[in-house]
Amino acid sequence: MSHNIYIYLIIMATVTLAIRILPLTLVQKQFKSQFVKSFLYYVPYVTLSVMTFPAIFQATQSPIVGIIAFIIGIIAAWFNAGLFKVSVICCSVVYILELFFC
């Protein structure tokens, strides 16, 4: 049996949106528990770190270039370069290095 693509898409969108919207609309108070507060405080940093590494050097054509971009990105961010600058720096590093490496 063949399935309808639009029904697939409706299921996909409903689940995706429910996951994102429900907690934000239902949880209107600050949590009381010290543990839950600490847990949620750490979640963004942990999840962004986990997503960045090692994915950054799997995204580029050459892994070495990705690692160099990662290190230079950390240095730039360490000196508070800001979102836009760090991002542009990483892209430029990859673009320039891949002219040589690839």
Partner 1 sequence: MGRLKFLKSKRKVLAEGFRDGIPIGLGYLAVSFSLGIAAKNAGLSAFQSFLASLFCNASAGEYSGFTVIAANATYVEMFIVTLVANARYLLMSCALSQRMAEGTKLIHRIVLGFYITDELFGITISRKGFVDPYYTYGAILFAGPCWAVGTALGTIAGNLLPLRIVSALSVALYGMFLAIVVPPSRQNKKLLGIVVCSFVLSLACAYLPLVSTLTEGTRIIILTVVISTVAAILFPVKDKEVAEDES
Is the alpha carbon torsion for 58, 63, 65, 70 positive or negative? Answer: positive
For position 100 contacting partner 1 by CB under 8 A, the verdict is: no
Q: How far is the CB of 51 from partner 1 (least distance, A)?
A: 6
For position 64 contacting partner 1 by CB under 8 A, the verdict is: no
For position 63 contacting partner 1 by CB under 8 A, the verdict is: no
Closest CA to 31 of 19, 20, 43: 43
Tokens of 85: 């600058």
Q: Indicate which single residue of 32, 63, 70, 100 sits in contact with partner 1 (rule: CB under 8 A).
A: 70
SS3 61: coil
Q: How far is the CB of 71 from partner 1 (least distance, A)?
A: 10
Q: How far is the CB of 99 from partner 1 (least distance, A)?
A: 8
Q: Could you tell me which residues come within 8 angstroms of residue 82 by beta carbon, excluding any fewer than 6 positions away?
A: none
Q: Residue 32: what are its φ and ψ, rounded to 5°? A: -90, -35
For position 98 contacting partner 1 by CB under 8 A, the verdict is: yes
For position 81 contacting partner 1 by CB under 8 A, the verdict is: yes
For position 20 contacting partner 1 by CB under 8 A, the verdict is: yes
